[in-house]
Amino acid sequence: MTRPIHDFRLLRPQSVDAVIEARSMHENSRIVAGGTDLIVNLRRGIGRPSVLISLDGVEEIGQTFVSPDGARIGSGVTIAAVLADRELAAKFPALAAAAMTIAGPSHRNLATVGGNLCLDTRCIYYNQSEWWRASNGYCLKHRGEVCHVAPQGDRCHAVFSGDLAPALLVHGAEVELAGSGGRRRMPLADLYREDGRAHLTLADDEILVGVHLKHESLRSGYAKVRTRKAMDFPLAGVAVALDGNVGALRALRVALTGTNSCPVLLQGTDELLGKPVDEALLKSIDKLVQRQAQPVRTTLASANYRRLAAAGLARRLTDSLATGNASVS
């Protein structure tokens, strides 16, 4: 038998309200959607919730609605369902491109959009077996006192590695949250903070119910580098959305994953609007990415490699989208 997970109670409420009520009633509880991140961590002894609240019975969050103006994607929609939705892919190309690179095909049948956006941060000192972490004295993120990546500091630099977030950020996504105080909507970027131990701004009793997207006719794409191309988290992942052509850009948004403790919507791209897409502009993008990507040694690949890779991907994607050759992925 596989090493058993600790004992917990599994609740399967049927509505968003019932989920929130269960969350408020059970202090030491966790939400589980597809489980492809959480169950892996629980199997490794990371966290000991006494109650798991499964979202699989909540109908409201399991559907996608696409209209001429945009789309609403429920947080419980699977990555496989995102990939199967041609309308969504036509309106938001980066989203489908990113979804295609998430985990393996069998994971994508379980994995959800909400789980991907709320993915735990990752680090070579954290995503290890209990035995491995125990022999290393654990670390700041879980059970330990020191960060092995930056021992002088007092923060955790574990990296956010979800692929969907940057694709949704460049399409201006908003997230809809539900909690005991009611519902609220905010820009996706506000869901995150730069802290590897607490990278989500969700309140304890809040869950993500859906993502709202406005259709803006942007060309977009997503590309990532990873150690193993068949199936792996990004060492650096970049989404770009733009409007215009090589003569002049009318809109440009760039977002990163795999480099910081939260996904990064690149600041400063507005200053590049109206300019032709030439070597000077690509250099400016390269510089912006290199400044705002802040990888530290949380992966086997070096931090500098990840910074350079992010910059390179951003240049290449911008160039190919502007010239109309959107096949980079």
Partner 1 sequence: MSSQPPPRKQIVRMRVNGRWREDAVADHALLVDYLRETAGLTGTKTGCDGGECGACAVLVDGVAVPSCITLAARCDGHSVETIEGMAQGGRLHRLQKAFHEQLGAQCGFCTPGMIMAAEALLRKNPKPTEAEIRSALSGNLCRCTGYVKIVKAVQIAAEAGS
Ligand X SMILES: Cc1cc2nc3c(=O)[nH]c(=O)nc-3n(C[C@H](O)[C@H](O)[C@H](O)COP(=O)(O)OP(=O)(O)OC[C@H]3O[C@@H](n4cnc5c(N)ncnc54)[C@H](O)[C@@H]3O)c2cc1C
Using CA atoms, how far residue 57 sits from 12, 53, 88, 248, in Å, is 6, 10, 24, 48
At its nearest, how many Å lie between partner 1 and the CB of residue 123? 17
- Using the minimum distance from each CB to ligand SF4, give the nearer residue, 142 or 316: 142
- Cα 190 from chain centroid (whole Å): 13
Which is closer to partner 1, CB of 107 or CB of 122? 107
Between residues 71 and 158, which has the closer beta carbon with respect to ligand SF4? 158
Strand order in the sheet with 70-74: 64-67, 70-74, 207-214, 174-179, 182-187
Residue 115 binding: pick among ligand SF4, ligand X, partner 1, none (C-beta 5-8 Å cut-off by kind): ligand X
298 binds, among ligand SF4, partner 1, ligand X, none (CB under 5 to 8 A by kind): ligand SF4
Residue closer to ligand SF4 by CB (options 90, 134) is: 134
Nearer CB in complex with partner 1: 6/184: 6
For 155, the token pair is 């923060």
By a kind-dependent CB cut-off of 5 to 8 A, residue 191 interacts, out of ligand SF4, ligand X, partner 1, none, with: none
CB of 45 to ligand SF4, least distance (A): 14
Q: Positive or negative CA dihedral for 98, 103, 107, 110?
A: negative
Interacting residues with ligand X (CB under 6 A)? 30-38, 40, 55, 75, 79, 101-103, 107, 110-112, 114-116, 118-120, 161-163, 207-208, 231-233
Residue 92 CA: distances (Å) to CA of 57, 66, 164: 28, 11, 11
- Residue 291 CB, shortest distance to ligand X, in Å, is 24
Which residues contact ligand SF4 by CB under 6 A?
Answer: 123, 125-126, 139-141, 147-149, 156-158, 196, 298
- Give min distance, CB of 264 to partner 1, in A: 27
CB of 278: closest distance to partner 1 in angstroms? 35
Residue 123 contacts which entry, ligand X, partner 1, ligand SF4, none (Cβ below 5-8 A, type-dependent): ligand SF4
Would you state the torsion angle of the CA atoms of residues 128, 131, 137, 139, taken in this order, to the nearest 10 degrees?
Answer: 20
Q: Return the one option of ligand X, partner 1, ligand SF4, none that residue 1 interacts with (CB less than 5 to 8 A, by type).
A: partner 1
Closest distance between ligand X and the C-beta of residue 271, in Å?
Answer: 30
Note the residues at the interface with partner 1 (CB under 8 A): 1-10, 12, 32, 35-36, 39-40, 43-44, 52, 54, 56, 80, 103-107, 109-110, 129, 230-231
